[in-house]
Amino acid sequence: MANETKVTASSSDFEVDPRDVAYQGHVKSIRLVDSVRVGLTALALLCGLTILGTSGDALMVYNTTSVSPDFHLPLWPRQFDLRPSVALVIGSVLVVLTNIVSLVFSKVKMLRNGTTLHTPVTFAAPFVGFVAVMIAMIFFYAVNASTTVDTVQSWSCQWESVSMQMKPHFGAICKETKTALYLSIILIPVEALILSLAGYQMMLERKAAGAERSRKGSPALS
């Protein structure tokens, strides 16, 4: 009987509160989701920087090689629309800025612990990035579909086979504009996934907070 009493007492000492198990489970899930979200945010930032670099360089080359309409041998047509390239530049700038802010709030402990700011930023960054890329893509395809007005991409890709010893190097510009376009397309599901993960993470954080309050508010098992 004495041995049975000791075994019973010993087992009760190691009894685990189910509220602790639930809380620890939420914490592990939050860390996993947060790691995936931060990784995708870094990927979105890298894509945004690449889009900004390629589309920005194409615009810069155009600005440095375009001539006045009275020039006899212009490299670019008179009827020309720069808005698709400008839209990609503006969209990529917004993507870069919002994802930098998101990464800063995710990595700096003082900012991360401030739920008042951290939670809105977690949602705002991918939302702004998603909207910016969507608008840029819609605008790009709407203008680029024109058969009467050329864009940087349509004109450079039309003459990409022409070998040139100096700028504008249409083949290189064509590759840059295509790279910016394809990465922008990739960014749409990436930003959407980041936004979904941010929502899921917020739900887990609320559950973890509720489990922690329940754990602290109840007496410990003896």
The rounded distance, in Å, linking the Cα atoms of 127 and 140 is 20
The rounded distance, in Å, linking the Cα atoms of 219 and 215 is 8
Among 75, 94, 93, smallest CA distance to 152 is for 75
Task: Tell me if 72 is assigned to some domain.
Answer: no
Task: Tell me if 14 is assigned to some domain.
Answer: no
Report the pLDDT value the prediction gives residue 70, as an integer from 0 to 100: 66
Report the pLDDT value the prediction gives residue 9, as an integer from 0 to 100: 47
Report the pLDDT value the prediction gives residue 21, as an integer from 0 to 100: 62
Task: Tell me if 45 is assigned to some domain.
Answer: yes
Q: Which domain holds residue 199?
A: 21-67+77-217
Rg, Å, the chain Cα set = 27
The rounded distance, in Å, linking the Cα atoms of 139 and 70 is 30
Report the pLDDT value the prediction gives residue 222, as an integer from 0 to 100: 41
- How many domains is the chain built from? 1
Task: Tell me if 153 is assigned to some domain.
Answer: yes
Burial class (CB in 10 A: 0-12, 13-18, 19+), 162: exposed
For the chain of 222 residues, list the mean pLDDT of each consecutive stretch of 10.
48 55 71 91 96 94 80 74 91 95 85 70 88 89 77 89 85 94 94 92 78 60 43
